[in-house]
Structure 1
């Protein structure tokens, strides 16, 4: 008896394991041409023993390969401009990861409807101030008020956020790739429209210890969701950046609070009030002609040359107020798992679905805001000085 499998599923699983097609073929003991045909045929037929071997090698349940795959999501569909040095395999991985997130969300949505998408989709040439004001209204925040928890409000407005962690199986298959994934990826986040009809925006960000960077990255990705529903172009990154700063700190209201002589000390107060980094705030003021080029250059030079005495690094790395807030963490994915299934433990979710391996689920929920058994959120520990932080690659070598 032959079993029907979908080639797109085989290819997706291989990419999520960061394996080469030729390596998979070699380990399965068949020609590379057969592996290529298997991955690019809409349907193929395998003997049960062959499917079991594919499942064991790629560490995905057999059921995964037998289900009709979700709508394709190509690297060029991602709403971000990858750095020039970003290899094709990384872009493919990011696309497949986002597609998997979308499939999990649709599965949960079948159990309990997700929040409707309220973030507007506007023309890409919409002025940043206008676009940010419309998004603030969709979030339920007035223009004159700071946004208290941007990630939470974005999710309530129908844009799930995933703080991606490294996958266990990457390290199992190729330790060098695990270090690459954790250390050398250059992007901070990206967005995509997922689901069978591409109508659910999703934002994926890398885990980061900087509350300033996380907030601004989420704001930047909301800019892509708002302005670039039809795709990105050469101006997209600048447009999303202008939008992000305006969303966090509307220029016309920040202007009212500026002293006659702008200093880093005075800007630190504004930073903590509005929840935007000094680096972004300085650029924001200059872009809106609230400071001249001379003051802009002076402030930037001071920011990147002064040393933070508590960390030993420049203010450009650890700004004043670097430890004043906790890093915002998403919560929608875990909340919906608990609401629909009664639990969010990756092993249990994996077993119940029968589709996704537990480590893939874990990489989706590892950065989510945790809750205790009683339902109360666990307090997040304060950031430690950089000198006490162990790099992931070094930790793996010592473990």
Structure 2
């Protein structure tokens, strides 16, 4: 017997009027991804009687090695700089929570939205965007490096947990969402496809010239909501900018003023936490209202109508986007490029570059399980194996490899 979801039941209104919260999620909208209509997996598998295909995808991501490694991968601060700063893992969990909220509001498949959110950063190398920048330079002559393409490689090839196939064998909808959550990859003005995406799409067409479904778009906007708000929180905790600076920020200043009025005697750390919570709610409401307006105009009857819409459907309103642009400029100038962060970035660059150069010049120094993947290949193959090995490292493992190979400890 295949999976049968529980009936969607709404509670009776409480006495005195008003509406009770739904006992079960409301019926999915006609343009949501329907688990029963999935386009399936590259390798056919029996269906589960207890979980939908999207729930199985979500569970496979959570149980993957790559997901566990996110615990010690940089979001902004290198893992050991403080126990309370975001890592790739905590960031991914926060994105998943917001994406589920949006999916419920918009009557989408929450499990698919959550799965795309949990998987979206799996391909990031150690030390965040710094590590990615170095690997792009190292791989410039060998098909390049892109963290989104690396996520696809992990999900379809590098994760080895099943006897019948490499990768996690996720559904078409999940892989499409991970690859295209930021929009189409093929068409006018688009950059050349990363090699990993081009290779996989030749065997499993992901409709690279279209937008992804709404669940993936919800995960993408949830990423923006999470990192903009939580980077403000982490930046204040780290002392990269002051509470007074935050009062003058777009969006943040207004949120601090609101919670300060409501809680005039609260300490600053409580005001910051309240403001972040308030602002996340404001952004979610803005996205929900803007998305509903776009859906009302399009009147989609199926998920494929979203893919063919020719524009992003889940988005901020124009006033919100303008305010966010100002907040991002401030964070870029005062946090992501703060001299303390730049010093750590400088050391991280040296670590990743040194590891790549050594493993490429002396592949016999790779662990045995990685040596076997070379299979007497050419330099292109060797570079990709070295890149895969380094990209899978956590911050702390990369530091330890550097210490073992070079006999010195980097001071990050």
TM-score, length of structure 1 as denominator length: 0.29
